[in-house]
Amino acid sequence: MSKINTILFDCDNTLVLSEELAFEGCADLINEIAAAKQVPLQQPFTGETLIIEFVGQNFRGMMTSLQQRYGFELGADELDEYVRREEDVVIAKLREKLVACPGVDDVLARLAASGRYRLAVVSSSALRRVKASVEKVGQAKYFGDDIFSAATSLPTPTSKPNPAIYLYAMEKLGKKPGECVAVEDSKSGTLSATRAGIKVIGYVGPYEEDEREKMIKVLREAGAVVVMEDWSQFDDCLAKIEKGEV
């Protein structure tokens, strides 16, 4: 009998097609910060260039990386203000244009109807943004208060690949790693869950066709025990884990 009783979903580009919209929204803000701090960018960031480099990280994590790379500094209050501004910009875009990942709503409905699994969201993104996302596409009913944010829920904000948010979610849910399966679309998210001892189903559906093969390899190397290209493959992937085949 399988011990799996909890499915932990990443949000961005796993439940909802938000990454492109979000990165588009924060590229302008990062370019503004670079100009204010006189950072010599070779060329301004775009949503596309940010997503290639920072997929799976939240805005705070991106800014930490960029400060280290370019040798500039943001004070704590200054960073907090930019984080708030980024949230507002991105949430406005999501409320306007966000849609669910193809096929995921059928899976969520089926899992909820089965009564076998507790469903939760474990994201790097700010709690306000994650809640706005699942509410916009009608998924909030599946998760209730079981929504956890590395940017907001933890005593000290962090970002995946740090496993802290998965460890925190399991503590709050009263679950052990062996009872959980995570679904992740990024290297940082897969590493985060794997480092917390959770088996990961990788998801590459939102990636362009020519990127998928590369991302399958990236997610496997990061620890995903099985990878799906479409939500229609979820049941088979979960079954492999429950049977102990992977």
Please check the confidence at residue 1 and state whether its pLDDT lies above 70: no
Q: Is 223 helix (H, G, I), strand (E, B) or coil?
A: coil
CA 81 to chain centre: 22
Beta partners for residue 7, in sequence order: 119, 181
pLDDT tens digit sequence for 90-134: 999 999 999 999 999 999 999 999 999 999 999 999 999 999 999
The CATH number given to 6-17+99-242 is 3.40.50.1000
Query: What is the arithmetic mean of pLDDT over 202-231?
Result: 96
Distances in Å between the Cα of 215 and the Cα atoms of 84, 172, 220 are 31, 31, 8
Q: What is the percent of the chain with per-residue pLDDT over 90, rounded to a whole number?
A: 85
- The two tokens of residue 118 are 């507790």
**Max Cα–Cα distance, the chain, nearest Å:** 59
What are the respective helix, strand and coil percentages of the chain, to the nearest 5? 55, 10, 35
Phi, psi torsion values for 88, nearest 5 degrees: -60, -45
Please check the confidence at residue 77 and state whether its pLDDT lies above 90: yes
Query: 188-217 b/e with 16+ CB inside 10 Å = b?
Result: bbbbbbbbbebbbbbbbbbbeeeeeeebbe
- The two tokens of residue 168 are 């925190």
Confidence of residue 54 (pLDDT cuts 50, 70, 90): confident
Residue scoring higher pLDDT (22 or 104): 104
Contact between 187 and 217 under an 8 Å Cβ cutoff? The reply is: no
Q: How far apart are CA 135 and CA 95, in angstroms?
A: 9
Q: pTM score, two decimals?
A: 0.87
The C-alpha angle with vertex 246 and arms to 147 and 161, in degrees rounded to 5, equals 40
* Model pLDDT, residue 56: 76
Query: What is the arithmetic mean of pLDDT over 204-219?
Result: 94
Per-chain mean pLDDT for the chain: 94
Contact between 55 and 66 under an 8 Å Cβ cutoff? The reply is: no
Interhelix angle for 127-136 vs 76-97, to 10°? 0
Q: Is 199 helix (H, G, I), strand (E, B) or coil?
A: strand
Residue scoring higher pLDDT (140 or 56): 140
Contact between 173 and 146 under an 8 Å Cβ cutoff? The reply is: yes
* Model pLDDT, residue 66: 92
* Model pLDDT, residue 25: 85
The C-alpha angle with vertex 231 and arms to 227 and 236, in degrees rounded to 5, equals 60
Q: How far apart are CA 201 and CA 42, in angstroms?
A: 37
pLDDT tens digit sequence for 25-48: 889 899 999 999 999 888 999 988
